[in-house]
Structure 1
Amino acid sequence: MILYPAIDLKQGQCVRLAQGDMARATVFNNDPGEQARIFEAKGFECVHIVDLDGAFAGHARNSEAVELILSSIQIPAQLGGGIRDMNAVAYWLDRGVTRVILGTAAVKNPSFVREAARHYPGRVAVGIDARDGMVAVEGWAKTTTMSALDLGKSFEDAGVAAIVYTDIARDGLLQGLNMEATLALAEKVAIPVIASGGLASLDDVRRLLQPDCANLAGAIAGRALYDGRLDAAAALQMIRAARGANPADA
């Protein structure tokens, strides 16, 4: 299980939103590169970057900030937000992003996602952002009539590396992960699932390390890390200890 610290970018700043609402953004750091270095120094294995402006615009809007992050750290980074065509996928993978996350494109252009996954094995993930179980797109501004489960299952034969599943209703509110919905998805699709939205405390990390969560690939932490509610050192130590007890997961 990998714990990913989130760096969400809005106008070049590191922010956290409440329930995906751009009008409810809290700025936590004006220097994305510095924030990435802080996370690396704390011992995180990979950072999770989202170009929030890009998600709404449909194309990169925080390229300078993303490239600053990439040049500031040695650990891997995954990136989502506004990546809607092969040129954008190639651009970011060529510049050092380890894995791209395709969300809106998974609904609107699934053939592109399949092509990207074939062309870049292990480096393409699907982002499934759900509101009341239904997929939301375009920076969560629009809710579709497709269920998260149906979307996930539609890519089982596509070779995508992971699904990043976010419960929008909990994102940024520190109410805990929606374990019921996350595990239901993970149990019904063969693709590894990364949980996102609401992780708030060491209790959430402890829950992720229980046997019924063994098929989860990881979880993303945001606001709880920024405001100090989640002790990064304690969380990472807990995960390392669990790996030691289960060498196959290391």
Structure 2
Amino acid sequence: MKILPAIDIKDKKCVRLVKGDFNNKTEYEISPVEQAEKYKDHGFKNLHIVDLDGALTGETVNLDIIEEIVSKFDLKIEIGGGVRNFDSIKKYINAGVEKVILGSAAIKNKKFLKEACEKFPNKIALGLDAKNGYLSISGWKENSNQLTLDYLKEVNNYGASRLIYTDINRDGMKQSPNFEETSKVADTSNCPVIISGGVSSIGDIKKAKELKNNNIEGIIVGKAIYDGDIQLDELVKEIDA
């Protein structure tokens, strides 16, 4: 089980949102680069980064921060947030990230997802964010009216190398991930799945590992780290890949 500690960047700071609401955010004193160093020093190998400024603007707003993190620390980074064109994907790949996450743009335009997977093999992760079974888009402000599993079946053969599934109702709430729904997604998906949203304790990590679903590759941990509910020393012991 890969464990991907999260860094959400807004206005050059680490923040956490509740259910993706920009009006309900917590800012933390530590900078994204310092937070990445902390993860690296504790022995983590993977990192999940979201550029929230990018999600709002559709530009690679914090590319300089990503470049600094990649150059300073030997971490496998997946990055998402407002990636809407090939130019943005290329910038991130040139910066040295492992995976670029496509979310809203891939849901609105399946052709873009397919072409991105063809142009950048093994570099594209698909971010599916769902509320009550339906995919949400545009920073979770819009409902796409598409059922998650229906959409996934349509794009399953496009070549995405990873799928990140987030239950929006759980995100930032620390109420445990939606394991049941994530397992359904993993059973359908042709590529490995990362669990996201709602991790509240080490118990959630242990439960994820007990799912015994070979297609679940890892889990993202965010707010519970920042709020001190999960200690990094304890969390790093749960890594087994």
Could you tell which deviates more after superposition, 203-212 or 92-101?
203-212
Aligned length: 241
> Secondary structure at 1:214's aligned position in 2?
coil
Residues 47, 77 of structure 1: 8 Å contact kept: yes
1:16 maps to 16
> Secondary structure at 2:171's aligned position in 1?
coil
Residues 29, 35 of structure 1: 8 Å contact kept: no
Residues 127, 165 of structure 1: 8 Å contact kept: yes
> For residue 84 of structure 1, what is the amino acid of its counterpart?
R
Residues 19, 171 of structure 1: 8 Å contact kept: yes
Cα deviation, residue 64, structure 1: 2.8
Residue deviations 1:130-175 (CA, integer Å, cap 9, x gap): 1111111111111110011122222211111011001111111110
Cα deviation, residue 118, structure 1: 1.2
TM-score, scaled to structure 1: 0.92
Residues 93, 100 of structure 2: 8 Å contact kept: yes
1:244 maps to none
Structure 2 Cα separation of the partners of residues 66 and 75 of structure 1: 11
Residue deviations 1:190-239 (CA, integer Å, cap 9, x gap): 22111100011111011011143332011100011111111222222133
Residues 58, 138 of structure 1: 8 Å contact kept: no
1:46 maps to 46
TM-score, scaled to structure 2: 0.95
Alignment of 1:200-219 (within 5 A): 200-219=200-219
> Secondary structure at 2:54's aligned position in 1?
helix
> For residue 33 of structure 2, what is the amino acid of its counterpart?
G
1:77 maps to 77
Structure 2 Cα separation of the partners of residues 29 and 151 of structure 1: 39
Structure 1 Cα separation of the partners of residues 108 and 120 of structure 2: 20
The answer to which structure, 1 or 2, has the higher relative contact order (CA under 8 A, 6+ apart) is 2
Structure 1 Cα separation of the partners of residues 160 and 42 of structure 2: 29
Residues 191, 215 of structure 2: 8 Å contact kept: no
Residues 102, 127 of structure 2: 8 Å contact kept: yes
Residues 170, 198 of structure 2: 8 Å contact kept: yes
Residues 36, 72 of structure 1: 8 Å contact kept: no
Residues 63, 92 of structure 2: 8 Å contact kept: no
Residues 12, 30 of structure 1: 8 Å contact kept: no
Structure 1 stretches of at least 4 aligned residues deviating more than 4 Å after TM superposition: none
List runs of 5+ in structure 2 lacking aligned partners: none
Structure 2 Cα separation of the partners of residues 82 and 90 of structure 1: 14
List runs of 5+ in structure 1 lacking aligned partners: 241-249
> Secondary structure at 1:78's aligned position in 2?
strand
Residues 32, 68 of structure 1: 8 Å contact kept: no
Structure 1 Cα separation of the partners of residues 74 and 137 of structure 2: 31
Structure 1 Cα separation of the partners of residues 193 and 147 of structure 2: 16
1:61 maps to 61
Q: Report the identity percentage.
A: 38
Structure 1 Cα separation of the partners of residues 36 and 186 of structure 2: 29
Structure 1 Cα separation of the partners of residues 118 and 50 of structure 2: 23
Cα deviation, residue 67, structure 1: 2.5
Structure 2 Cα separation of the partners of residues 56 and 190 of structure 1: 30
2:151 maps to 151
Cα deviation, residue 178, structure 1: 0.6
1:137 maps to 137
Alignment of 1:108-187 (within 5 A): 108-187=108-187
> For residue 207 of structure 1, what is the amino acid of its counterpart?
K
